[in-house]
Amino acid sequence: MQLTCRSFSLKLAHRWTISSGLGPGGSGGTDLFPVAFVELKDTNGIHGIGEAAPSTRYERGVESTLEFLRRVDPKRLAFENVPASMEYLDSLEAKQFAAKGALNIALLDGAARQAGRPIYHHLGLGFTEGKHVTSFSIGIDSPDAIREKVCEADRYPVLKLKVGSPRDKENLAALREVAPKKPIRVDANEAWKTKEEALKNLEWLASDGGIQFVEQPMSATTDANDLTWLKSRAPLPIMADESYLSMADLPRCADGYHAVNVKLMKTSGISGALSALKAARSAGLKTMIGCMIESSVLISAAAHLAELTDYLDIDGNLLITNDPFLGATAEKGIISFTNTPEAIGLRVRARPGISS
Ligand SMILES: [Mg+2]
């Protein structure tokens, strides 16, 4: 097996800010998001591609991802045995979820190609066209910019609003001026410091009447008793994101949340996400697949698991202007593989004309 990797800077259409990156006076945020692409090729010419989009919330960034990837012995990776390949990667280091995730996706791409079918069939899940709709995310900004972004996102039927800034109320009002009826998801990214503050905000959000759920109201380190206190009083469903990295976090999340947000960059790829989704569903929690700022490689990888979700939030590739790949599409928010150039594996191919 041959392993190659390279870094790439995804360019954001709008400066991207969430509560954890918010600076004084509304400053902060980012215009570029560094990722790494990996490719595996075996001696039979079967290849697989993957992507790492490490979030600084969990990891040290793309340089550390690349450093880990350079330490991997590709001879220990095989399309024929993905579980053993992952065990080898876990033996090298406990963390590095993004790097392992990239390799897991590349391994499953190759394995499914070898079997001549898409990953969703390879995993026995299937994929129903026309059923899976992603939300479109609106980052923290000024009310004027929010209004403009919401108008630009007119074709997407569900929005996700990032909150946790001093202007949350003005921002939601600005959104509602231009999208009075659209269903909205809200993401606080751990912004609220106490259970009382979180409850007050949930009550305010519930009064909107069109909000589906609120992600991660408080820090992932919040005391379990405070989480159950909030869950028992919450007028809207609350969803764990930063609190639910993998299925190991299930016991805590089952008591403190109504739903979980699974991301391939937290679960070390598709295999870990499959376990995290199945575990959450069997505990009676609703599930969503979310994303980081990502290209179509990671977004398509997430789409293969859509059948195990109640909600999708896989818009990372819609927020960038230089996606080097073509994969699952999101016309009007509807995730589809119908016009995807590849019929098998991850169903992703390099986009002509964009240097990757
Ligand atoms: Mg979130």
Q: Which residue type does 317 have?
A: N
Better-scored residue on pLDDT, 76 or 20: 76
Instruction: Please state, in angstroms and rounded to a whole number, the distance separating the CA atoms of residues 292 and 298.
Output: 9
Q: How far is the CA of 129 from the centre of ligand 1 (A)?
A: 25
Q: Which of 241, 265, 249 is closest to 97 using CA atoms?
A: 265
Residue 76 is given by DSSP the state G
What's residue 355's pLDDT?
60
Instruction: Please state, in angstroms and rounded to a whole number, the distance separating the CA atoms of residues 185 and 212.
Output: 5
Q: What percent of the chain has pLDDT over 90?
A: 92
Q: How far is the CA of 292 from the centre of ligand 1 (A)?
A: 9
Better-scored residue on pLDDT, 30 or 126: 126
Q: How far is the CA of 269 from the centre of ligand 1 (A)?
A: 17
pTM (2 decimals)?
0.95
Tokens encoding 192: 């609220």
Q: How far is the CA of 190 from the centre of ligand 1 (A)?
A: 9
Homologous superfamily, domain 136-350:
Enolase-like C-terminal domain (3.20.20.120)
What's residue 326's pLDDT?
97
Tokens encoding 42: 């075996």
pLDDT band at 56 (very low <50, low <70, confident <90, very high): confident
Q: How far is the CA of 42 from the centre of ligand 1 (A)?
A: 36
Instruction: Please state, in angstroms and rounded to a whole number, the distance separating the CA atoms of residues 253 and 326.
Output: 35
What's residue 21's pLDDT?
72
Mean pLDDT of 6-35: 83
Q: How far is the CA of 233 from the centre of ligand 1 (A)?
A: 21
Q: How far is the CA of 268 from the centre of ligand 1 (A)?
A: 17
What's residue 149's pLDDT?
95
Residue-wise pLDDT for 271-293, tens only, equals 999 999 999 999 999 999 999 99
Question: Residue 302: CB partners within 8 Å, gap ≥ 6?
Answer: 263, 264, 273, 289, 291, 312, 314
What's residue 258's pLDDT?
98
- The residues with which 8 forms a beta bridge, in sequence order, are 35
Q: How far is the CA of 143 from the centre of ligand 1 (A)?
A: 21
Q: Where in the chain is the domain with CATH 3.20.20.120?
A: 136-350
Place of tokens 């897991």: 104
Q: How far is the CA of 160 from the centre of ligand 1 (A)?
A: 10
Instruction: Please state, in angstroms and rounded to a whole number, the distance separating the CA atoms of residues 187 and 32.
Output: 21
Residue 263 is given by DSSP the state -
pLDDT band at 226 (very low <50, low <70, confident <90, very high): very high
Res. 173: pLDDT tops 70: yes
2-117 folds as Enolase-like; domain 1 (3.30.390)
From residue 256, alpha-carbon distances to 72, 283, 312 in Å are: 37, 12, 21
What's residue 354's pLDDT?
65
Instruction: Please state, in angstroms and rounded to a whole number, the distance separating the CA atoms of residues 189 and 166.
Output: 14
Q: How far is the CA of 4 from the centre of ligand 1 (A)?
A: 31
Q: How far is the CA of 242 from the centre of ligand 1 (A)?
A: 7
Burial (CB count within 10 angstroms: exposed 0-12, middle 13-18, buried 19+), residue 232: exposed
- The residues with which 215 forms a beta bridge, in sequence order, are 187, 239
Q: How far is the CA of 203 from the centre of ligand 1 (A)?
A: 19
Q: How far is the CA of 69 from the centre of ligand 1 (A)?
A: 26
Across 52-61, 278-287, 337-346, least confident range: 52-61
Residue 262 is given by DSSP the state E
Q: How far is the CA of 200 from the centre of ligand 1 (A)?
A: 20
Q: How far is the CA of 79 from the centre of ligand 1 (A)?
A: 32
Q: What count of other Cβ atoms lies within 10 Å of the Cβ of residue 81?
A: 14
Instruction: Please state, in angstroms and rounded to a whole number, the distance separating the CA atoms of residues 321 and 344.
Output: 26
Q: Which of 271, 348, 257 is closest to 308 using CA atoms?
A: 271
What's residue 311's pLDDT?
98
Mean pLDDT of 236-242: 98
Mean pLDDT of 139-149: 95
Q: What percent of the chain has pLDDT over 70?
A: 98
Q: How far is the CA of 343 from the centre of ligand 1 (A)?
A: 31
Instruction: Please state, in angstroms and rounded to a whole number, the distance separating the CA atoms of residues 152 and 175.
Output: 12
Instruction: Please state, in angstroms and rounded to a whole number, the distance separating the CA atoms of residues 66 and 37.
Output: 9
What's residue 71's pLDDT?
97
Helical pair 97-115 and 296-303, crossing angle rounded to 10 deg? 70
Q: How far is the CA of 257 from the centre of ligand 1 (A)?
A: 14
Q: How far is the CA of 57 from the centre of ligand 1 (A)?
A: 11
- The residues with which 5 forms a beta bridge, in sequence order, are 38
Q: Where in the chain is the domain with CATH 3.30.390.10?
A: 2-117
Q: How far is the CA of 51 from the centre of ligand 1 (A)?
A: 20
Q: How far is the CA of 102 from the centre of ligand 1 (A)?
A: 20
pLDDT band at 14 (very low <50, low <70, confident <90, very high): confident
Residue-wise pLDDT for 87-143, tens only, equals 999 999 999 999 999 999 999 999 999 999 999 999 999 999 999 999 999 999 999
Long-range contacts of 275-281 (CB under 8 A, 24+ apart): 275/246, 275/247, 276/244, 276/246, 276/247, 276/250, 277/305, 277/308, 277/309, 278/308, 279/247, 279/250, 280/244, 280/247, 280/250, 280/253, 280/254, 281/308
